[in-house]
Structure 1
Amino acid sequence: MAQPKENTFKPRDPDWKARCLAAFEKQPIAKTVGISIAALEPGFCEMRLPFREELTQQHGFFQAGIVAMLADNAGGWAAYTLMPPKSEVLAVEFKINLMSPAKGEEMIARARVVKSGRTLTITSIEVLMLDGGREVDVALMQQTCIAIVDSNQ
């Protein structure tokens, strides 16, 4: 999946990047499993997770919940780039199709915003494994996120 063209989306928050990166730094689960942000642009996020045996299932592949977690995170941050100041992001729904075992050196999730509304944002996420220098399709996710805006701020 290619990144969106330049200026495809205009963030509602001029400080969107700082807000997103600060929020990501506060997420304990991402640090625990080793997720990192590789790219962050308005309406787009790429996250990566190096292979670790303790994140696998009995066949030695990344466990499906870990695949879904990486996809969910990438989609959430792609959505969050377009949300208003003083907002938070939460996933409210997603559907994932697991297409092949997640085996290789590093898992990559590339998320793009399909539609950004006032409160709901729809994202599409492609999950791949870097395996022997090749990107192999692993999963596709469609996700809906909601902007939680604190009216007291």
Structure 2
Amino acid sequence: MDLKALAEQVARAQPFTQHLGAEVVRVEGEEVEFALKVRPEFYQHLGVVHGGVISALLDNALTFAGGLALGPNVLTVEFKVNFLRPAKGERLRALGRVVHAGRRLAVVQGEAYSEEPEPRLIALAQGTISQV
């Protein structure tokens, strides 16, 4: 089974993910990477990317990683984001990976990067994904 193609299909079925323009970049093992092009409406008043955009990208990466371990019908139960520095640049990437998976829950971690022009770590996240 082509997991990247499956992840792309699920991402295309999510209107909010499509609205953001987020796309699946890589699916490998228990890791999923998403990326999006930064648009002017993503900025907040200080000229950096709004934390909600970064959080949404991380949520996708974490949830899709959890889905690799638990199956495609999953939802985020909770997640926490630590913002490390303001996001600048034309593109953001988020990587999600499974730390531990049981039968119904998976603990996942993620990293978000801003490409400005060199990748810079901008946020870390951890969450719990549940099978529905």
- Report the TM-score range of the alignment, normalised by the length of the smaller protein: over 0.9
Shift of 1:42: 3.1
Structure 2: where are the runs of 5+ without partners?
none
Q: Indicate yes or no: 2:25 matched with 1:44.
A: no
Q: Which residue of structure 2 lines up, in the alignment, with residue 88 of structure 1?
A: 73
Q: Indicate yes or no: 2:75 matched with 1:75.
A: no
2:80–2:125 contact (8 Å) kept in structure 1:
yes
Q: Extract structure 1 runs of 4+ deviating beyond 4 A.
A: 14-19
What are the Cα deviations for residues 95-150 of structure 1, in whole angstroms up to 9, with x where unaligned?
Answer: 11001001112111011110111000111100010002x111100000100011xx
Q: How many Å separate the matches in 2 of 1:121 and 1:15?
A: 22
1:120–1:147 contact (8 Å) kept in structure 2:
yes
Highest CA radius of gyration, 1 or 2? Answer: 1
Q: Which residue of structure 1 lines up, in the alignment, with residue 122 of structure 2?
A: 138
Q: How many Å separate the matches in 2 of 1:141 and 1:128?
A: 12
Percent pairwise identity:
33
TM value normalised by structure 2? 0.93
Aligned length, in residue pairs = 132
Q: How many Å separate the matches in 1 of 2:2 and 2:89?
A: 36
Tell me how large the CA RMSD over aligned residues is: 1.5
Which of 89, 94, 108 aligns to 1:104? It is 89
1:105–1:130 contact (8 Å) kept in structure 2:
yes
Q: Which residue of structure 1 lines up, in the alignment, with residue 112 of structure 2?
A: 127
1:124–1:143 contact (8 Å) kept in structure 2:
yes
SS in 2 for 1:78: helix
Shift of 1:83: 1.8
Shift of 1:16: 5.2
Q: Which amino acid aligns with 1:143?
A: G
Which of 5, 8, 12 aligns to 1:25? It is 12
In proportion to residue count, which structure has more helix?
A: 2
TM value normalised by structure 1? 0.80
Structure 1: where are the runs of 5+ without partners?
1-13, 149-153
Shift of 1:41: 2.1
